[in-house]
Amino acid sequence: MDSNPPLRNIVIVGGGTAGWMTAAAFAKALGRAYSIRLIESDEIGIIGVGEASIPNLTEFNRALGIDEDEFLRATRGSFKLGIEFVNWGALGDRYIHGFGKVGQMADTVPFHHFWLRMAAQGKAAPLGEYSINTVAPRQAKFMRARHDMAGSPLAEIAHAYHFDAGLYARFLRGFAEQRGVQRLEGKVTRVEQCDGDGGIAAIVMESGERVAGDFFIDCSGMRALLIEQTLHAGYEDWSHWLPCDRAIAVPCESVSPLLPMTRSTAHAAGWQWRIPLQHRIGNGHVYSSRFMDKEEAEAILLRNLDGAATAAPRHLAFRTGRAKTFWVRNCVAVGLASGFLEPLESTSIHLIHMAVARILDYFPRAGFDAADIAEYNAITRVEYERIRDFLILHYKLTQRDDSEFWNYCRNMPVPEGLQRKLDLFASNGRVYRDGVELFTEVSWLQVMLGQRLQPRGYHPFADLLPEAEVQAYLDNVQRVVGKCAQAMPTHAEFIAKHCAAR
Ligand code: FAD
């Protein structure tokens, strides 16, 4: 057994979404046996974007025991069933990447092989007609899954949220402070390292206060005060694959209907998000500064708002990639300090959730174990790479040739693992996915087909059933999904009834 005294003193640097998610989860899991202190600076503030999530955030909140309606009231949040992509595969194209299932899984091969068989003969509706998560948002309909209705599409609704990131951090702060987390206000001006291994010994604040600790979590955002500025973990730059490096964010007034989906509209050198909350719509233009200047990017954003802007546009810069090492000695980076894969598909907050869960899994007992740290870093690296490949897919799979940016994306070489996935799907519509991967087969399928990668064939077992039977099967799924969507309340009605902010 380790003869070192047990590690008890945790210091979190930064109080954005990453800092407060970490503090809240630690407080819940570790109780008061540990000292947890969080340092943040009101003057520096938080990045304040990050308003769309994927369904896994429901699990994070549930693990903390947070009531969903209370969370949505506190963050003025709304529900999200998927993302609509406009103008990505080609100008004028539109498809939804919905969470949840498409069709029903047959006994033999996945649904989409039957769909491919019929679509090849012009006898199938667009794929999105066979999923409640893509049919309902087009009609602005929403309800939570009815788990008591097994077999119905209503049992399979998978939802995530749109929410105000600043309000979520405040909400989690309340949760964490109630459970003993101590918040220290002020700027970090110096970091002291240990004489022996060069790990972090203490944080020194502008006031002169010295905050010593055993275990440090770097949630300082893109500044990466500990992991990069102090421990020099290094950064792997992925901007040759994910070329957007700027964003402009601006909120605007709400318009009706309240859609339960994010919209991502491709422009000449990037794309624009549209995230409807209860009280406003969050908008942003993510673009590549290599291909467009900020004046043009801002003009495009402001031209494409649904309502009047309610604040001045905010310009942000970032570099896509990740820290070469996430956990170095007694310090782990979480959130933007650990890397950033751009906002497409809303994966950053999910990566925070995964990092926090993994730190708890590999939580040090007393000293720091090299094998634990190596494993943490290896899994996190793969996790980042799999998400990266899914994002690159959106840029690579385009037929757009109307700008230098899209010509670059269409022609760029992609990572080998992604190329294999593309080749595999292009042959017989098969989707390969390993255990670490976040996005499901159905996610890959919707984006690949949505962006015009048409497989040459499909699984031969889809031919084993008589055509009339397959047709009846598809028609039935489409009819039932349509009827279920019709019966659902509107998103606005659902929120008004359950979780409207007061
Ligand atoms: P920050 O919010 O920047 O917090 C850093 C903290 O460190 C702050 O509290 C700051 O005060 C503190 N700090 C820094 N330096 C010091 C210092 N010297 N002394 C004291 N304190 C200090 N993610 C999603 O999941 N979905 C999205 O839709 C999404 N959209 C995004 C859009 C854009 C344009 C960008 C850039 C990011 C987006 N993200 C999104 C990512 C998301 O915003 C972040 O993952 C999330 O907000 C976490 O940020 P953070 O807490 O790591 O950093």
Q: Is the CB of 220 under 6 A from ligand 1?
A: yes
Same domain as 312, residue 269: yes
Same domain for 352 and 397, yes or no, is no
Q: For 60-105, write each residue's pLDDT tens digit.
A: 999 999 999 999 999 999 999 999 999 999 999 999 999 989 987 5
Beta strands in 281-386 (DSSP E): 281-287, 314-317, 321-323, 327-328, 331-333, 339-340
**Same-domain status, 262 and 139:** yes
Tell me which of 11, 12, 49 to substitute to probe ligand 1's pocket, judged by most ligand atoms within 8 Å of the beta carbon. 49
- Residue 90 in any domain: the answer is no
- Residue 404 included in any domain: yes
- Beta carbons of 489 and 142 less than 8 angstroms apart: yes
Residue 486 is given by DSSP the state H
CA-closest candidate to residue 467, choices 117, 113, 105 = 117
Where residue 480 falls among pLDDT bands split at 50, 70, 90? very high
Same-domain check for residues 286 and 407: yes
Residues 184 and 324 in one domain: yes
Give the mean pLDDT of the chain: 96
Task: Pick the residue whose CA is nearest to atom 40 on ligand 1.
Answer: 50
Residues 350 and 330 in one domain: yes
Residue 250 Cβ inside 6 Å of ligand 1? The answer reads no
Domain presence at residue 425: yes
Same-domain check for residues 193 and 215:
yes
Domain boundary among 329, 345, 368: 368
The yes-or-no verdict on residue 2 having pLDDT over 80 is no
How high is the pLDDT of residue 502?
Answer: 86
Report residue 77: phi and psi, to 5°: -80, 170
Does the residue 497 lie in any domain?
yes
Element (H, E) at 469: helix 467-487
Q: Which two tokens stand for residue 500?
A: 């409207």
Ligand 1 atom index nearest CA of 45: 11
Identity of residue 8 = R
Q: Is residue 454 part of a domain?
A: yes
Q: Are 318 and 247 contacting, i.e. CB atoms less than 8 angstroms apart?
A: yes
Q: Are residues 258 and 393 in the same domain?
A: yes
pLDDT attached to residue 50: 79
Mean pLDDT of 172-196: 97
Q: Is the domain of 132 the same as that of 115?
A: yes
316 lines ligand 1 (CB under 6 A): yes
State the distance from the centre of ligand 1 to the C-alpha of 105, rounded, in angstroms. Answer: 39
Number of domains in the chain: 2
The pLDDT value given to residue 377: 98
Q: What's the order of all strands across the beta sheet hosting 262-267?
A: 94-98, 82-86, 262-267, 270-276, 281-287, 246-252, 314-317
Residues 108 and 152 in one domain: yes
Nearest CA among 365, 362, 448 for reference residue 97: 448
Pairing of strands 35-40, 235-237: unpaired
Structural domain including 424 reads 97-157+246-317+383-502
pLDDT confidence of residue 17: 96
CATH of the domain at 176: 3.50.50.60
Is 266 known as a binding-site position? no
Per-residue pLDDT, 3: 66
Q: What is the ipTM, given to two decimal places?
A: 0.99
Please tell me the predicted confidence (pLDDT) of residue 5: 75
CA of 54 to the centre of ligand 1 (A): 17
Mean pLDDT of 266-292: 98
> Which residues are identified as catalytic?
80
Q: Is the CB of 221 under 6 A from ligand 1?
A: yes
Instruction: Answer whether 346 contacts ligand 1 (Cβ < 6 A).
Output: yes
Residue 456 is encoded by which pair of tokens?
């040459």
Phi, psi of 209 (to 5 degrees): -65, 140
Q: Is residue 373 part of a domain?
A: no
Residues 337 and 467 in one domain: no
Q: In terms of pLDDT, which residue wins out, 6 or 359?
A: 359
DSSP codes, 11-77: EEE--SHHHHHHHHHHHHHHGGGSEEEEEE-TTT-------B--THHHHHHHHHT--HHHHHHHHT-
Is 1's pLDDT higher than 60? Answer: no
pTM of the shown model = 0.97
- 155 is an annotated ligand-binding site residue: no
Pocket test for ligand 1, best of 348, 384, 438 (most atoms within 8 A of CB): 348
In a domain, residue 208? The reply is: yes
Distance 300 CA to ligand 1 centre (A): 25
**61 within domain boundaries:** no
pLDDT at 173: 98
Mean pLDDT of 169-191: 97
For the Cβ of 343 lying below 6 angstroms from any atom of ligand 1, the answer is: yes
Same structural domain for residues 129 and 233?
Answer: no
Distance 148 CA to ligand 1 centre (A): 39
CA 82 from chain centre, in angstroms, equals 11
Strand order in the sheet with 200-205: 188-193, 200-205, 210-212
| Residue 169 Cβ contacting ligand 1 at under 6 Å | no
